[in-house]
Amino acid sequence: MNEVGLRYYCYRCGRKNELQLPCPRAPEFHHSELRCTHCGDETRVMLSQCPNPDCNGSFVYWINDLSIPGLVENFAKYMTTNMQSLIDRAAKEGVRISIDTVDKFTIPAACPCGNKFNIEIPIPDLD
């Protein structure tokens, strides 16, 4: 798998961190925890490489204290719980509803090369 050099400035102390991280090609992504080498502040990063074969290896990334894949998973649980109560209520009233469950969550991204692509986070099967 490709590795990329990521340089970021810590949100807490403002100092520079330089890392080498694995970076799969979109729609795959890499998610990992970061720890500032100066103050120890922890954050998370999600990154993915532009799939355009003519691109010079650019990548996109999101730095956030929250785990984006974790958010998707929690949201999926919330959705499933709420859909289930909706389905139960509809069943009591003699209504049949069918719901297409998506199996991935898509995040649109744009590369400096002009290419637009998606990152896909698999949604766990929560049956």
Contact residues toward Zn ion (CB under 5 A) are 10, 12-13, 36, 38-39, 41, 50, 52, 55, 58, 111, 113, 115
Residue 27 CB, shortest distance to Zn ion, in Å, is 14
Of residues 54 and 93, the one with the C-beta less far from Zn ion: 54
Grouping H, G, I as helix, E, B as strand and the rest as coil, residue 74 is: helix
Of residues 53 and 94, the one with the C-beta less far from Zn ion: 53
Of residues 10 and 107, the one with the C-beta less far from Zn ion: 10
Of residues 36 and 121, the one with the C-beta less far from Zn ion: 36
Residue 84 CB, shortest distance to Zn ion, in Å, is 41
Grouping H, G, I as helix, E, B as strand and the rest as coil, residue 73 is: helix
- In angstroms, the CA 15 to CA 20 distance is 17
Say if residues 109 and 119 touch (Cβ distance below 8 Å). yes
Residue 39 CB, shortest distance to Zn ion, in Å, is 3
**At CB < 8 A and 24+ separation, what contacts does 55-59 make?**
55/111, 55/113, 55/115, 56/113, 57/2, 57/4, 58/111, 58/112, 58/113, 59/4, 59/23
Residue 107 CB, shortest distance to Zn ion, in Å, is 16
